[in-house]
Amino acid sequence: MLSKNIEIALNKQIRIEAESSQIYLSMACWSEVSGLEGIAKFMYAQSDEERMHMLKLIKYVNERGGHAQITDLKAPKTTYETFKGMFEELYKHEIFVSNSINELVHITFEEKDYATHNFLQWYVAEQIEEEATAKTILDKINLIGDDKGGLYLFDRDIQQIAVAASAASPK
């Protein structure tokens, strides 16, 4: 049985995961209409992954005697100056999500809810991976600079990251 405090904190995280899915979806749309098909595919895959993170939390809350709450979401940005700027925002957002997960883990320690603490370890590991992926992508973008040929290759190559990530992620 979840304490009210942990239920509230988990519901906050459900919203964050839902908003993350929406952010990636918006980035996918912008990328697609900007002719960045590979980036768009990557972002669509990331959006789906964030939605699965949300659903996993929802099931956990409901199965532990809580009530998962689905709330309104903050609308994400719909346009970006550059694809580099978009990925910089994505990286900052992943750090925000990591901090939120870490705060949630802290609450489980305070409340001695070791079952929820154990459940959240998957999210801790996932966020390490998400941050590393975003950082690697930013590093590649910085290597490209303003080279249009480099952008073409990057756009093509990032599709492989999306395919590899979706193949490796547990359902």
What is the rounded distance in angstroms from the CA atom of residue 9 to the CA atom of residue 109?
A: 13
What is the rounded distance in angstroms from the CA atom of residue 36 to the CA atom of residue 119?
A: 36
**E-assigned strands of the chain?**
none
Total H helices, total E strands in the chain: 5, 0
User: Any idea of the CA torsion for 28, 30, 32, 36, to the nearest 10 degrees?
Assistant: -100
The DSSP code for 112 is T
Structure tokens given for 30: 């912008």
Structure tokens given for 153: 């290759």
94 annotated as belonging to a binding site for a ligand: yes
129 annotated as belonging to a binding site for a ligand: no
Task: List Cβ neighbours of 93 (8 Å cut-off, separation of 6 or more).
Answer: 20, 23
127 annotated as belonging to a binding site for a ligand: yes
117 annotated as belonging to a binding site for a ligand: no
Residues contributing to the annotated binding site? 17, 50, 53, 94, 127
Residue set of the binding site for Fe cation: 17, 50, 53, 94, 127
